[in-house]
Structure 1
């Protein structure tokens, strides 16, 4: 008789956790730096490089890693047991915890965002303009708007879904040995993985901890997906509307 899967027998050491959290971010950063100047020189806005990184680096790396673990664990590429936090919740619980997460992330991010802008001007001033300005280098406002429109799907859905499955569906349950510190460590490492936004670390770490806590508390990764996608879609729509009006929001 086949025994039930036990996540406690599939834990990942802290040393490996550090590597698994960071290597996708390193790959994204390298790709972003290499591709951005090229696309900017072609007349595309700076955001294009980051969206391409999400499509061609983040998504493949995240899903390949999950598939490889699935093959070892299940003998197939099914993500059963790989994504451990899939506890069933009622519609009311989804609504309640999604609203809590969205509100918590907003309350954390909004006051810390200006600090990120301050760090951008005082500590990271030496980085190229396209690193911060998603509209930098664009040949037309219409093109900027189109790229932001694509961002609603790529940065609003593709990126967050892969990140939540990888960081909170896969890695978070496998640091259960940290007990109540697990969501704090996971959220912090998730924030630090954003190497392409070093000025905004405080805000992203805060958001990451809230996302990790909600998923950890309810043992449900779909909450993280709902919250993360909602926040990113709203941000992308705001960027699109601003670009369409001839303005660009600095990230």
Structure 2
């Protein structure tokens, strides 16, 4: 799903990736996979809920996922890495109450070995102000088995911030003759959505921008690797 009005994307490696980085989640997922060897009962319950959400048709509406939503919300609003780690280990029984309204399932996306299910919703957690955003479940799957999973909350404010930063870079100019850019644009043509919600369009465009940046970065890294090998073996 994407806003088709924009056909070019920024290439700056310094731009912070959107959606808290779809592929950055890979490193987090890997850590979770290693930690799974010594899980607490609470962590096991969290992983079981994440696995259930992978195929549950009611993942977007069921109250049984409130615990995952609250923990994802807490991580999104944490001010440092230590706080993010601690909230991920919270006992669901001690989490603040959450209310969910206007929950709408978003189209699923897949960039093997990663896949994502997401839901647009408005929430209120404890005494905090109501907030709209996207709850996303990201999975790392290999050989038909889920190796790790992660729940994330992306508030509208963050989506808007990333989208605006992307648009500023586009306005500054992008070299559309770059062959790598052309290849990456073709590889990720966009995500179709019939939603009239402007935030959905921004989030979809932002996700595509991230995937194209990652594609470009991989191509640069590969060229650097070939260069290094050349000088090592010459």
Same fold (TM over 0.5): no
Tell me the TM-score normalized by structure 2: 0.29
- Which structure's residues are more often strand, by fraction? 2
Tell me the TM-score normalized by structure 1: 0.28
- Which structure's residues are more often helix, by fraction? 1
